[in-house]
Structure 1
Amino acid sequence: MNTNSTDQFFKSKVLGHPAGLFVLFFTEMWERFSFYGMRALLVMFFTASLIDGGWEWPREHAMAIFGSYVGLVYLSTMLGGYFADKIIGYRWAVVVGALLMTLGHGSMALETPFFIYLGLTLLVFGNGFFKPNMTSIISEMYRDRPEKKDGAYTIFYMGVNAGAFFGILLCGYLGEKVGWSWGFGLAGVFMFFGLLQFWFAQNIFGDIGLKPKKENKEQVQHADGDKRNPFTIWQTGLIIVSVVLGLLWILNDPASKISGGKINIFDFHVFGLEGNNFIILLALLIFLFLLIFRLTQYAEITREKLIAVSFFAFLTIFFWAIFEQAPGTLTIFARDYTDRVLEGNAGNIFRIVNALLTIVPLAIITWVLYRLFRQTFKNYALSNVILSCSFVIVWAVGIWMLYDQYQETSLEVPASWFNTLNSLFIITLAPMFSKWWESKYNPNANVKFGIGMFLLALGMACVAFGAGGIEPGAKTASVSMVWLILVYLFHTMGELCISPVGLSYVSKLVPVRMIAFMFGVWYLAVAIGMKGAAKFGENIDKIANENGISYFFWMLTIVSLVMAFVAVAFRPIIKNLMHGVK
């Protein structure tokens, strides 16, 4: 067998693709199950009353630590990607990441302050090792079959969203109805199953993902003809200073709030700014200076393409800062301000819909699992047995949930349930948007971003309008669930216009040797957006008490509309900078 050719992987196929793709499919599915399952519970756990088993934190504190957590998750991908590329390889990076996340979820199930913080730390580093390297294995597997890549990533993306859907649905239900530790613990159980399944089937990937060889790195360094521009000592020093200041800020921000100022390493003022604000502005200014300086060192065409990428990264910050209200302020809105009690026919309709949403996707994925077994059971029996055990548990928990809801005379929809709509709408709408991008009506990059930001604004306008009758200072209300459903519908359509499109343009516009650096810039923008979402959310109580919660959502609507206008208005300029890249 020629191990240098990737055609070897197509000898054992499932649904026209290598069986190895589906090993990755299920591994990623369980990782997303654990990540989104825990994420759906975190803010609710922090803000729930002591009687309900929570910590009874103010929303400001919960959003501060949540924002730092998700921001660090995206920043850690640069560290995990570096270790995988340079030292341990993709395969070991996935194993290390899965193990760290398993331990992280297990720690959080203990619910004590020490273990909650330890768990979040382990999850940050675990995601960093795991997240960037699964797609790298797929890319290598299809190296000699580029025409099959789009289909492969579509299947993989379905695994991502299936895991997110079931994680939020089942972990959220257990956490809210039985106990928080059950929700956190279930997430850890399936991360462990994903780890074992991947470990015992890893030989299916041949030599892909093993420890990198020196000659491969040299080939990448000389992959394009433009002049190289290595980092000098002073530039590396500025990166280190910026990263250290940023990390200290992102850790100190929640620590100073939660401790009431007792823990605050930036307890000073400079030019009238609080120490926290001064430090993060300084870190961003250092990074921007370095980015702008390096852009001046490249050939004109390369420089202009990188400026276009930076513009889209700037828009991405605002998109994620508003989109990521879902696990925070929108979940709190669902819990405290939405009428989630369904009786009579309304309750029966929800039971039927929820049963179909649970059983039909599970049946489809179980069928895929059966197809995988037929191809791989002989050589990877243990991996398949572990995978089948995990599905038995999922079926059991899902059927128990449906039976428990059937027994309730007055059905209360879990607040976390609304987060499942994002994954459901993605699976439903992604094929339609894919067809749109392939048609003659395919808009250019700026218009796509503009449409995405407008849809984001439309979603926020729905919840703002629905909350219009809530008086300032009100702690509870009974707004119709329809408004939240519309929010997730419009926001998902906005995500399909921006999230996959943005990553695609990074890969198209950036020279090969610089792709790691610019993906780092991109993920930094995402991390800033995630933390920005939390900074918005920290102010929800103050704004709600003074002007009403509807005012908060109208503010986010206006920001989204402004950024939609910016995206479209800069279309002629960015089009020239992209030099024909479509």
Structure 2
Amino acid sequence: MAVQNENSDFFKSNVLGHPAGLFVLFFTEMWERFSYYGMRALLVLFLTASLTGEKAGWGWPREHAMALFGSYTALVYLSTMLGGYFADKLIGYRWAVIVGAFLMTLGHASMAIETPFFIYLGLTLLVFGTGFFKPNMTSIISEMYKDTPEKKDGAYTIFYMGVNAGAFFGILLCGYLGEKVGWSIGFGLAGIFMLFGLLQFYFSQNIFGNIGLKPKMADDVALANSDATEINTNIMAESEVNKKNDDKRVPFTGWQLGIIAICSILGLVWVINDPVSKISGGKVNFFHIAGFDFSNIAIIVALLLFFFLLGYRLTQYSEVTRQKLTAVTFFAVFIFTFFVVFEQAPGSLTIFARDYTDRILTGSASLTFLIVNTLIAVVPLAIITWVLYLLFKKTFEKYALANIFLSVSFVIIWGITIWMLMKDFYSAGYLNLSDSTLEMLRIDKVTKKLTEINATWFNVLNSLFIIALAPLFSKWWESKYNPSANVKFGIGLILLGLGMGFLALGGMDIEPGAKTASVSMFWLVFVYLFHTMGELCISPVGLSYVSKLVPGRMIAFMFGVWYLAIAIGNKVAGIIGENSSAIAKEKGIGMFFLAIMVVSIIMGLIAMSTSKFISKLMHGIR
């Protein structure tokens, strides 16, 4: 097509066998994930940190912190539907990414101020910013590879590595600075690198040619560069597809749109009201009417109305389509369960690491950790810097300013990483530094002769295990032993449950009501190992089956159902985290993780036992 020819320079400029533009997206996504996961790792710790001390926080009880965190993560996923709509109908993918990155930069900058107004403002900006940013990066990749589908899997693999690299360094560096230097430094660093991601994308966006332009602009360009024969051919092809589709169109009627509006309003108000009412001690409650609290009734009504609408619309399609959509609904239930368990990481698991885990290392154990930590920080950073160099060679001539911003960001990240490692080696007594060097590097002149692992560090294990294990799981899926979708969900949920089982076992000796303990850190290592294996079974499966099973004209609605399941899962994860303190006080923290383990394994077994039934509903789709 003519549009593709106009983008020919972009497709000829290759890095590692892919268009250079893919790596522009790689680094933009990397810094966005750096900022998101860096802040995410710190938020609950900051909210629950003592009001006094060297690094004072807000002194909130865990219940309040988890209520706010659960609502924040739920709103992040719900906002993707808003961002996707604006991109598709009004501003295009490219400007949606730019708007999202700008809002997130402002959000992180606001949180660095640490006052209540600016923390809440920052979280609000991050919700809307992520909504604009998150869905539209992958949309640009999809457009880039629409004429070369055979290379799309490799492209998403590279892009996914950028996601994990950003999460890894965000947690490692923002977490370190936040816990050991100051919360505002950790929050602020997230904003700095989000700004670099924004500038790099903005000044190199022309590399994408016509991809991601405002919808009307893109249509005008396509029409201007397409001849009549090509247009007629496309129209005839679309006509043939429509003839083969025996499903009638089922547009949303007025009463159905009314139900959607009611559900949306009740759900959004409830998600916001839940932490507000708890934090304010009930002084602010949007559902407190005539002396009664209707909040639980409101959310139940919203869910019942939504399920009624979903069930009704399923009855309006042909039997085959209805069965495929039913299969997607089953998968949404499993993905909901996955997020309920998996999203304990930034909350319950991080608090367990801070309060109940022995994180002090001395002697050979200290030295071993410092060496391993150096390798896991420096080796990935060196590899990504090499990729940066390859991109630099291909694009500097045309996009010099974007490359300069990207290069500066890497100089800073290298500087922070080296400073962190030097500080740790010095504090542990393995590095001698002069007084002038210590003063220049702003390192305290105190040698503790030990290493204290910060609580957020354990979150980096997820990204490390993904990088190490993803190739093995990919080989498994390509082999003759590739299990069905249900079995993958089942295995993933069981692995998640077994992961929680390690903390249940490790926490069994912790007395009910204990505020602190010194459980071995290896229990947490095993948790993240099993949770990562569970993620690799589930995460790549879900959206793939939505796209395969759902007819094109209905995909927006079913993607909405999918993201709604994820949003509810995140909120329920927060609600469960809220109850960790009460359960720990009454029965012990081990029982809290044991209960989650049992539920996850039961759902995994249900997923596996319904495999044949749901396979029939899928009608041969694998």
* TM-score normalised according to structure 2 size: 0.91
1:493-552 deviation line (CA, Å, top 9, x unaligned)? 000111111111111111111111111111100000000100100001100000000000
Contact 1:461/1:554 (8 A) holds in 2: yes
Task: Confirm or deny that 1:293 pairs with 2:325.
Answer: no
- Paired with 1:215 and 1:227, the residues of 2 have a C-alpha distance of 29
Structure 1 segment 132-211 matched on structure 2, within 5 A: 132-211=135-214
Distance 1:298 1:216, change over 3 A: farther
Matched with 2:584 is: 544
Distance in structure 2 (CA, Å) of the matches to 1:231 and 1:40:
41
What displacement does 1:330 show? 0.3
1:240 and 2:261 are equivalent in the alignment = yes
Q: Cα deviations across residues 231-264 of structure 1 (Å, max 9, x unaligned)?
A: 1111111101100000000000000000000001
Check 1:321–1:430 CA distance in 2 against 1; reply closer, same or farther (3 A cut): same
Name the structure 2 match of 1:378: 397
SS of equivalent residue, structure 1 residue 3: helix
Give the corresponding residue for 1:20: 21
Q: Which residue of 2 aligns with 1:122?
A: 125
Identity rate, percent: 70
Deviations 1:22-65 (A, max 9, x none): 00000000000000000000000000001232000000000000
**One-letter amino acid of the counterpart of residue 575, structure 1:** S
Task: State the partner residue of 2:423.
Answer: 404
- Asked if the contact 2:494–2:601 (Cα under 8 Å) also holds between the matched residues in 1, the reply is yes
After TM superposition, list the pairs within 5 Å mapping 1:499-514 onto structure 2: 499-514=539-554
One-letter code aligned to 2:589: I
Q: Which one-letter code corresponds to 1:568 in the other structure?
A: M
> How much has 1:410 moved relative to structure 2?
1.2
Asked if 1:517 is matched to 2:557, the reply is: yes
Deviation at 1:214, TM superposition (A): 9.2
Q: Which of 274, 281, 289 is residue 253 of structure 1 equivalent to?
A: 274
Q: Matches of 2:416 and 2:398 in 1, distance apart?
A: 30
Distance 2:124 2:238 in 1: 33
Equivalent residue number for residue 228 of structure 1:
249
Amino acid at match of 2:260: I
Query: What residue identity is the alignment partner of 1:87?
Result: L
Secondary structure class of the residue paired with 2:113: coil
Deviation of 1:274 after TM superposition, in Å, equals 4.8
Does the 8 Å CA contact 1:472/1:545 hold for their aligned counterparts? yes
Q: 1:553 aligns with which of 587, 593, 597?
A: 593
Partner of 2:509: helix, strand, or coil?
Answer: coil
Deviations along 1:305-356, whole A, 9 cap, x unmatched?
Answer: 0000000001111110011000000000000000000001000000000000
Match of residue 524 from structure 2:
484
Where in structure 2 are the equivalents of 1:277-288 lying within 5 Å? 277-288=296-307
Q: How does 1:354-365 map to 2 (within 5 A)?
A: 354-365=373-384
Could you say which residue in structure 2 is the equivalent of 1:3? 3
Separation in 2, partners of 1:341, 1:215: 57
The separation in 2 between residues aligned to 1:178 and 1:436, in whole angstroms, is 43
- Would you say the 8 A contact 2:210–2:218 is kept in 1? no
**One-letter amino acid matched to 2:47:** F
Distance in 2 (alpha carbons) for counterparts of 1:349 and 1:554: 32
Alignment correspondent of 1:56: 59
Structure 2 contact 63–577 (Cα < 8 Å) conserved: yes
Does 2:303 align with 1:263?
no
Instruction: Specify the code of the residue in structure 2 equivalent to 1:164.
Output: A
- In structure 2, the CA distance between the partners of 1:239 and 1:547, relative to structure 1 (3 Å rule), is same
State how far apart, in whole Å, the 2-side matches of 1:319 and 1:268 are: 35
Q: Does 1:94 align with 2:60?
A: no
The amino acid across from 1:300 in the alignment is: E
The answer to whether the 8 A contact 1:70-1:531 is kept is yes
How far the C-alpha of 1:215 sits from its partner, in A, is: 9.6
Aligned to 2:228: none
TM-score, L = length of structure 1: 0.97
How many residue pairs get aligned? The number is 580
User: Which residue is equivalent to 2:360?
Assistant: 341
Q: Is it true that 1:324 corresponds to 2:343 in the alignment? A: yes
Distance 1:53 1:379 in 2: 47
Name which of 463, 471, 478 aligns with 1:438.
478
1:169-220 per-residue CA deviation (whole Å, 9 max, x = no partner) reads 0000000000000000000000000000000000000000001139969989
Q: Distance in 1 between matches of 2:270 and 2:257?
A: 20
Residue type of the partner of 1:380? Y
| Structure 2 gaps, min length 5 | 221-233, 428-448
> What letter corresponds to residue 287 of structure 2 in structure 1?
F
Residue pair 2:93, 2:137 contacting (<8 A) in 1 also: yes
**How large is the Cα RMSD of the aligned pairs?**
1.7
| Structure with bigger gyration radius | 2
3-state SS, counterpart of residue 251 of structure 2: coil
Distance in 2, matches of 1:572 and 1:365, equals 43
After the TM superposition, which parts of structure 1 deviate over 4 Å for at least 4 consecutive aligned residues? 5-8, 214-224
**How many angstroms apart in 2 are the aligned matches of 1:263 and 1:199?**
41
In the alignment, is residue 388 of structure 1 matched against residue 393 of structure 2?
no
In structure 2, the partner of 1:36 is 37
For 1:260 and 1:124, the matched residues in 2 are separated by: 24
Is this contact kept in 2: 1:221–1:513, CA < 8 A? Answer: no
SS in 2 for 1:581: coil
Q: Deviation of residue 2 (structure 1)?
A: 3.5
Determine the structure 1 residue equivalent to 2:433: none
CA distance in 2, matches of 1:453, 1:44: 27
Quick one: distance in 2 between partners of 1:39 and 1:331? 11
Matched letter for residue 370 of structure 1: Y
Distance 1:170 1:214, change over 3 A: closer
Q: Which amino acid aligns with 2:213?
A: L
Is it true that 1:474 corresponds to 2:508 in the alignment?
Answer: no
Query: C-alpha distance in 1, partners of 2:563/2:101?
Result: 20
Unaligned runs of 5+ in 1: none
Equivalent-residue separation in structure 1 for 2:597 and 2:215 (angstroms):
47
Secondary structure at the aligned position of 1:213 is classed as: helix
Query: In 2, are the aligned partners of 1:7 and 1:144 still within 8 Å (CA)?
Result: no
**Aligned AA (2:307):** L
* Residues 269, 275 of structure 1: 8 Å contact kept: no
Q: Secondary structure at the match of 2:382?
A: helix
Q: Distance in 1 between matches of 2:249 and 2:389?
A: 49
1:386-426: CA deviation from partner (whole Å, max 9, x where unpaired) = 00000000000000110111112211000000000011111
Distance in 2, matches of 1:515 and 1:425, equals: 32
Q: Secondary structure at the match of 2:215?
A: coil
How much does 1:364 deviate?
0.1
Distance 1:177 1:300 in 2: 59
The alpha carbon displacement at 1:135 in A equals: 0.3
Secondary structure at the aligned position of 2:250 is classed as coil
